[in-house]
Structures are given as structure tokens and as C-alpha cells.
Chains A and B, each alone.
Chain A
Amino acid sequence: MKPLSAVGIVGYAGYIPIYRIKAAEIGRVWGTGCKYPIIEKAVAAIDEDATTMAVEAARYAVARAQINPEEIGAIYVGSESKPYAVKPSGTIVAEALGISSQLLAADYEFACKAGTEAFQTCIALVASGMVKYGMAIGADTAQGRPSDELEFTAASGAAAFIFGKKSEETIAYVEGTHSYSTDTPDFWRRPEEPYPSHYWRFTGKPAYFKHVLSAAKGLMEELNLTPDDFDYAVFHQPNTKFPLAAAKMLGIEEEKIKPGLLVPIIGNTYSASSPLGLAATLDVAKPGDRILMVSYGSGAGSDAFSFVVQEAIEWKRPLAPPIAAFVNRKKLVDYACYTRYRRKLRK
């Protein structure tokens, strides 16, 4: 899918909460083995949720975009951990940023790819001229059932991207996007259930790899590109192994995915996972670099994007903190504090 008129990223930013828990600490409590899918994961504070983190990322994205927030005509928040079952998060973000009420706003849900669906909607709205700027946010405080293997990785974070017409003000422009979706029951959560369920046999080959690789290959075919044309790649990061394996299967060198590979040190931030990886990659990319980004959402689908970095990255980058600033700012908590912060204990 290519937009009829050229669209780019005018601003981007991420937010990661300060608290971390080591996978080994979760393992110590539940008596599981010593091989963990990641080192540690980010834990939101007791007064944080997907919406507060979305606001943090959105504020920095506006600072980096150097635009008047009143010109943002659409906000889409992708999340599977909305603080309200019914009440949009986007309107709270808009109010916190002082965005005008002449606004399109909705929340998206598609497991871990809800954030990149928001990308596509904003790209289309900008390309069609319906809005001047559109903001897409992926934000989650992901929860795993205590002792479940998902508990080792389910983490918290947010990333915000503002799209506008391609110009000298855009940091990177969109070459195209391609999606691949099927009805695959690998992971789900029923209403009023606090934790998701998953069907482990489905999670690897028929789910993550099939969708990620199909979307990536479809995009490359459509844009007439090969893996060698990309300087960087970002894949959805449910654990450390999967994105590394996806890169290998596509013939993309490990070096190209390293800058955006955040999962070992912050965990799987669900809707924010690949957007945060893209933000971390933009933190180090040079003008002219081409970046492949592929999300994955259980249920299941993948959205692939190709971005080409522009000159504006050089002067806009220092206007907001790098992802590394959030990664390096941390306080370790034990399992007891973690259960309190994430409200796992019923009073």
C-alpha cells in the first residue's frame, strides 16, 4: 500500500517507566529454571497506566515535531491495556496536550500491533488531506498471569509518532506499508478476564514468523526492494529470540536490528514494542538510511513499513530525550513491589 501523496514522520518519541524487575526475580518466586527470555522488563509505577504513558510520549513527540499541537487533527491510541473498558484514551491525551476539540480520536486494539494500525490510519488521513497532522500512539501496561511464561516479558511503555505531508520538516518519509492478517488463535483475552490466555503451539511458526515474514516479503515485493536495501530493521519483540530469528530468515544482518532491539532490557511493551524499536533506531540513523519495521499482533496480523530517513533528523533529534535516556534511568524492584505496582494483589 502506497499513499497517493508523500507522507513522513514529523516527530517521534518514546516513554519507558523507571521501574524494572529482573526475569530471574520472577523465576525465583515461581521456582522456574534459569533460562529466561529476557534480562529485565519495565514496570509502570502504581499511578501510571497506558494513558499516562501515552501522554508522556506524545508530549515529547510534539516537542520534537516543533508544531502547534492544535494542528493535530487525529489521535489514535493502540493498546490492549486501556484504563477504561469504555472511554477513549485519545481524548485524555488530546486534553493533556492542549489539542483542539476539532479532532478525530479513537482507540485501536489488535494485541501487540494496535500501535502500527494507528500509523496506517494517520498516514492515510494525511495523504488524503483530511488532516494536517495525525498522531499514532502505541501504549501498554501488559500483564501476564502470575507464574505464566508471559509474566517474564509482559512490560510497560509507550511510543508516539506524528505524521504530516513529506517536506523538509519530516524526519523520515513513508515508502509504503503492507499488512498480512489471518484468524489465528495464538493469544487472546476474554472480557473481564484480568490475564490473557495463549496457545503455545501456535505462538512461533504459524503465528509470529508466518505473519512477520509474509508482511515483510509482501512489502519488499510491492516496493521492489531486497533485504540488502535496508540499513536497519525493527521487528516486534515478544522475546529476544524471535526478532533475531526473523531477521536471519529474511537474510538481514543482526547488526541492523541491534539499535532497535530493546526487549532484553525493557521486555515486551506490546503495542509500543516495534514503535519503541523504531524510535531507538531513528535515534542513531543517518539521513538516507532505509528502515524496515514489522509489527506483530496476535490473533493475528503484521504491518510492515519502509521509512527513509531525511535531513531533519539531525536538528530534530536533540529536541527530545533518546530512548537510551529512559533505558538507562531505572530502579530495580522485587516481586513484592512489582505485584503492588501492577495491582496483582486483590485487597
Chain B
Amino acid sequence: MRDMTDDIAISLKAISKSYGGGVDAVSNLDLDIREGEFFSLLGPSGCGKTTTLRMIAGFEEPTAGRIGLGGRDVTWAPPHKRDMGLVFQNDALFPHRTVHQNVAFGLRMRRLPAAEIAARVAAALAQVQLTGFEARHPGQLSGGQQQRVALARAIVIRPRVLLCDEPLGALDRKLRASMQFELKELQRELGVTLIYVTHDQEEALTMSDRIAVMNGGRIEQVAAPDTIYNRPATRFVADFIGEATLLSGAVVRGAEGVHLALSGGLRLPLPGSMAPMAGAERTVAIRPERITFSGDGAGLPGHIVDANFLGTATLYKTRLDNGALALVRLPAASGEARPGPGDRVALSIPPDAIVPVASGPAADGDPA
């Protein structure tokens, strides 16, 4: 493994930000973002994603903590000395400039020769599929087109770090998917470190090398997408990313292994790895696609409350006999008779699908 300190593009150390009024928008944040990484900040609205990004860009000063950029302390450096491209949540294009002038701005600030500016602007506009729009003003573009101009304006300067605050928010599904792909390609091509803010978990999961899940100004978990999805560290992560069934009870070690003693006398067999937790109250998370209805009646008894057809699968909302809700996702298969609302079922949950989750933010659970 290479020396870690060379590898780090941006490091946030114990960063806090308070806007006054007592509540911290961001509190005690530690993050190390690696060179050339596609790193996502994921979390619900108001959790401090934009604030974090603005501190990295230099538009907000942290109330406490330090920010390092490639080993240099930039906590107090002005924005124009940080060499970061920034795509704002609401594009922030210059309304009095044409598309061409907007994209050329950063190159002009760098005093590049006119011919090079023209060539690079044309290339950047082609990358975001806006060739032919050069002479328009931002007011004459759709919301999605404006966002793409903002993206072109940021990538054309080939920054060391590209900061994107929900840059694809205003795009329709199809264009969004194609832009996601383009952005990922572009990031790989340029080798740029990209910090991507989104509240769309699917987007974060498909695009990122690593994801930091934030909640209420804190980091819940930093890990690769599959880890975030399959081994959520906290209750919040399990719930926020995809769907999950959360069950709580005491971990009991018995003759036939460990199980979770749920209320109503229900018992959920646990993986052997949870044996050391015996005696503690724990919450576990199970992804809906890992649960099936057992044919032989073995498993957790309950009944179906609701069935939602999703096209490729059906999502069943079931209520266990102890009153807890559980989600079951069965892939679509033709011919088979499907249970419907009101039917009694037994939920079969394989022990290896069960993930213990902490109730609050945990320490950095990144295994990498």
C-alpha cells in the first residue's frame, strides 16, 4: 500500500460549522478524500452537505477544525487560490454573459491564449452536449441546460478538485443517467478528485468510489457503496439507503446458536459472528430482497399488509405477529401464485443477511 499521506487530496479534521443560533450545521467532521476518487456526500435535506462543500471551496470558514488540500493547510486560503471547480446547487451562471463567455470565464482568468480558450470551450460544451448553444444567454436555456453549462464551466479549467452540489438535480431521468455516465467517464479521464453532493442514494451508489452518509451535521458512515448497502453501520444508514427492515431485541446465546429475542416471543436466528454481543440489546437490519416467504411455515409469522408491484419485483409490506413491520422484495416471476394483502406468511431470513446496526453515528467504519 502506498503512503497514505501522499494519497490524500483533501482532509477535513474536526471541522465544525455553526451559523449562530446554537445549532451546528456541521459538527466535528473528519474526512479524508483520496486523490482521483469519486467521493459522494449523501444525506437528507439540511444535513450539512452544502455547508461542508462550501467550506472545502473556501466560501465558508469553519468555526473549528482544519482543511488540508494536498498536504497544504487551506483553512484560511481564499477561494481563487484553491484550484477547485465548483458546480453550485442552483447553477449560478453569469446572467449577463453568453454560454460561451460563461464557460470561457475561468480560462480567461488564467490568461490563456484566445485560440486555446476557444478550443477548450468547444470541447467542454461538446462533452455536456451543448454544442450550438454558445451564443445564448443563461435565461434562454432550460434548467437542465443551465446545469450542464455550469458543469462545463467547472470542468473546462481542469481543476485538481471538482466540487459538485447536486449538479444533475434538474435533469430528467434519461438525461440524468447519461450525464451520470458522462461525469463518471470524465472524472476517470481527467483523473480529477470529485466530491459529489447528492441526496439521491441510487445516484451515490452507482457513481461513487466511496460514500459518506451524513445526518444532522455528522457522518454516519464512510465506505464503498457495496459496504454501505450490505453492511450499514448505523440504523440511519440502513434506513436511508434503500429499504430495510429494522428489528430490535436482546441477543441470546442458546443451545442451537445465537438468536435475537423479539417481543411477542419471536426468535430470529443470528449469524455466529454476533455471538460476542450476547446479553446486549441490539438492532439489526435486513434488506428486503434477502427475505423470502418460506414454503414450510418455518420463520417469523405475520401477514401481508400491502403489495406494491414495481415492475421487476414486488415489494410486500408485512406485519409480524408482534406488531413489527418488515419489507420483503420478491423478484417478478410469471406463473407462480402470489400472496396478496391479508394472507398469512412466514418470513425466512438467512442469518448472513442480518447486519447489526448502531443506533447513532459510529466511528469511521471504513475497512479499506
Q: Do A and B come from one complex?
A: no
B interface residues, Cβ below 8 angstroms from A: none
